[in-house]
Each structure stands twice: as C-alpha cells, then as structure tokens.
C-alpha cells in the first residue's frame, strides 16, 4: 500500500513539475508584459481619491488601539446579511474564543456599504445601528453596497487598516459565506510570525486569467475598462491573507491607481503588481470552491467557500480535539491519505484543493 501511494505521489509530483516549469515560463512572460499596468493605470492622487472619499456611517477607530493584533480580519458583508454575521460571531469569528484558547488577539470587523433600495434603506440602517450597539464590529461607509462597488469596499478595508490598525501583523479579507478554520489559520500564522516575514500574500492564486468578455456574465469587463488580454496574478477574493508591509504597499498603490475596475480581487492583484508583489499559493485555501465534507479534510483546511447554514456544524469539527487525533499514528495517517486521494485526486470534477494536498 505504501508503495502504491508513493507511486501516485511521484506521478503527481512529476505532473506538477511539468506544470510548474510551464507556469514559471508563463509567469516570466506575464511579469514582463504586465509592466504596462505601471504606466497605463496611473492617475493623479486627486482623481484616485474619488474612489475612496466616502463618509463613515459607522466606525470604531479605537478597535485596535494599543493592542498586539496578530490578525485583522475584514468580512465583506451586505447590510441585510444579519444571520450570516451572527453565525460568524458565534463560530470562527468569536474573538473571545480565539484569545482564550490561543492567547492571541484577532480583530474581526464587517465591511459594509448602504442598501441600494431607498424604500427600505432607513429601516435597515436603523437595524444596523442597533446591531452595532450590541456587537461594536461594523464598519460602514455611505457608498451603495452592490457588486459593482466591491472595489470600493476593498478600498474601505485598506484605508481603515492604514488609518486605525497599521500595526496588525496580518490582514485577511473574506466573504461572509466562507468558513475559516480559525485554529488552523492561527497556528499557521503563529509559525510564520516567528520569521521576519515580508511580501507575504497567500490564498488560492489565479495566474494569467483573462477578463470575462461575456456581456451576460456579472463578471463582464469591457475593453474600455480593461483592454488587455490577461490580469496580473491575484488571489480569489473569497479569502486571502497578507502581511502588514503588503497592506502598506498596496494602500500606497491605491493612491494613484484607477479603481474603476469593480472586481476587487483583480484590483488587489493590479495594486500588488505595481508594487512588484506576487501571491503565493496555499493548498488549503479553497478559493471559490467548497471543501469536501470529511474528517481528514477538516484537520488541515483553512478556508472553504459557499457556506451559510452549516457554520456551526463545521465549527464543531474545527474545535473537536478528536478530529485532530483522528489522523495521528501510522494507520490514521494512511487512512487519511487514502481518503484525501479519493477526494482530491480524481480526474473528474472541480477540485477545491490540489491533489498534492492529499500527501501533506
């Protein structure tokens, strides 16, 4: 059995090396060809300001003051998604749980705009004020909270971080339908934090992705908005993490970049590219995919996308010490390797994590 597993791993490693060689060559080409971003998207600071010059309706300027913050976690939420925010507060976004169990400070904030429909706007805004009086974790500006304003919401996160929490060691941006295995993420960041980490940016990386030219798609990008054939490398907006030096550099880039492209994760890639920062792939960030349901997956997962009703179920797995013990020992590791090969290395289907994650 061990021999068979070794052969499978060698085969996938060989396949990965071939892909890696091709990708490295392609990345070199992209790096050179994407120099145009540094000269074609630059605008004046005054012009760039119009994309982030919005008024705070709800703010907590003292949220990070005088605290050693390991992670500042911004959750992109819509005003009406109260139940999702509640589920996050009681599971992976529970700051008190993290402090008590890991002795580190994580600050969780929800980034919001305003509900677009004027008829319900006042009622919902009043509900948001009441929600924030209880939980003190909403950051809201007076832009309309729509898909086409996602880049403005991204700028809200960067600007708030720069102004009020630039000492946080790591920053994460995540959707409100993502599950984050916070114990695994904290352990990983604590390990990384032992080194003098620079230019750290991880997630599910998209390399050389072309703009969507299908006018029926919500991701449609016109030639007028983005005339080039491919985007710079970027991490899926469902969830990604970067270090404070990256936050500072990317913020500086936004001060003179045209932010009219409304796909926020791509805009992050453009900003990083202008500062010569490249994302790094982490095999247990799912991107837009939903992780398979299996105890062997839960042991190592960091993010899984597309969750609404099962936050509490996943959180029980994430915090159950028996799950961590399940794959220990020779037979436990062997079982989990076989299970992950079955779940991640099949030829058919869309993968959440790459096959090589089965052997980690």
- How do residues 319-331 score in pLDDT, each as one tens digit? 998 888 887 888 8
Over residues 139-159, the mean pLDDT reads 97
Over residues 5-17, the mean pLDDT reads 47
Q: What residues are paired with 173 via a beta bridge?
A: 74, 240
Asked if the model's pLDDT at residue 24 lies above 70, the reply is no
Q: Which two tokens stand for residue 94?
A: 């529970």
pLDDT at 329: 87
Threshold 0.95, pTM exceeds: no
pLDDT digits (tens, 9 = 90+) for 182-204: 999 999 999 999 888 999 999 99
- C-alpha to C-alpha distance for 206 and 55, rounded to whole angstroms: 33
- C-alpha to C-alpha distance for 327 and 336, rounded to whole angstroms: 6
Average pLDDT, the chain: 88
pLDDT at 121: 85
Task: Centre a 10 Å sphere on the Cβ of residue 13 and count the other Cβ atoms it contains.
Answer: 14
Asked if the model's pLDDT at residue 176 lies above 60, the reply is yes
Asked if the model's pLDDT at residue 32 lies above 60, the reply is no
Asked if the model's pLDDT at residue 18 lies above 60, the reply is no
- C-alpha to C-alpha distance for 221 and 323, rounded to whole angstroms: 44
208 dihedral zone (left: phi>0; alpha: psi -120 to 50; beta): left
Q: What residues are paired with 107 via a beta bridge?
A: 72
First to last CA, the chain: 17
- C-alpha to C-alpha distance for 181 and 300, rounded to whole angstroms: 8
What angle separates helix 182-192 from helix 311-319, to the nearest 10 degrees? Answer: 50
- Residue pointed to by tokens 């449609």: 220
pLDDT at 328: 83
């Amino acid at each position: 059995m061990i021999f068979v597993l070794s052969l499978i791993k060698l085969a996938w490693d060989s396949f990965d090396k071939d892909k890696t060689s091709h990708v490295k060559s392609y990345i070199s080409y992209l790096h050179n060809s994407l120099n145009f971003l540094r000269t074609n998207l630059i605008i004046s600071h005054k012009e760039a300001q119009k994309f982030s010059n919005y008024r705070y309706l709800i703010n907590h300027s003292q949220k990070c003051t005088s605290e050693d913050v390991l992670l500042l976690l911004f959750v992109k939420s819509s005003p009406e998604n109260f139940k999702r925010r509640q589920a996050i507060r009681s599971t992976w976004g529970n700051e008190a749980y993290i402090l008590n169990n890991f002795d580190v400070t994580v600050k969780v904030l929800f980034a919001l705009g305003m509900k677009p429909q004027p008829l319900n706007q006042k009622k919902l805004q009043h509900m948001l004020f009441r929600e924030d009086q209880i939980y003190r974790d909403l950051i809201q500006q007076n832009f309309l909270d729509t898909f086409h304003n996602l880049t403005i919401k991204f700028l809200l996160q960067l600007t708030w971080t720069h102004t009020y929490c630039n000492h946080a060691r790591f920053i994460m941006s995540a959707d409100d339908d993502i599950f984050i295995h916070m114990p695994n993420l904290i352990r990983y960041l604590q390990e990384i934090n032992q080194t003098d980490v620079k230019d750290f940016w991880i997630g599910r990386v998209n390399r050389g992705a072309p703009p969507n030219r299908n006018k029926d798609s919500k991701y449609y990008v016109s030639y007028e908005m983005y005339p080039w054939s491919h985007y710079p490398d970027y991490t899926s907006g469902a969830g990604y993490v970067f270090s404070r030096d990256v936050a500072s550099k990317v913020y500086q880039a936004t001060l003179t970049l045209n932010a009219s492209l409304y796909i926020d994760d791509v805009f992050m890639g453009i900003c990083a590219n202008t500062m010569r920062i490249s994302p790094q792939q982490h095999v247990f960030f799912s991107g837009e995919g939903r992780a398979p349901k299996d105890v062997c997956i839960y042991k190592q997962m960091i993010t899984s996308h597309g969750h609404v009703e099962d936050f509490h179920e996943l959180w029980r797995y994430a915090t159950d010490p028996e799950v961590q013990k399940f794959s220990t020992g020779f037979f436990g590791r062997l079982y989990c390797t076989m299970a992950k090969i079955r779940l991640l290395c099949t030829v058919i289907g869309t993968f959440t994590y790459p096959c090589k994650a089965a052997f980690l």
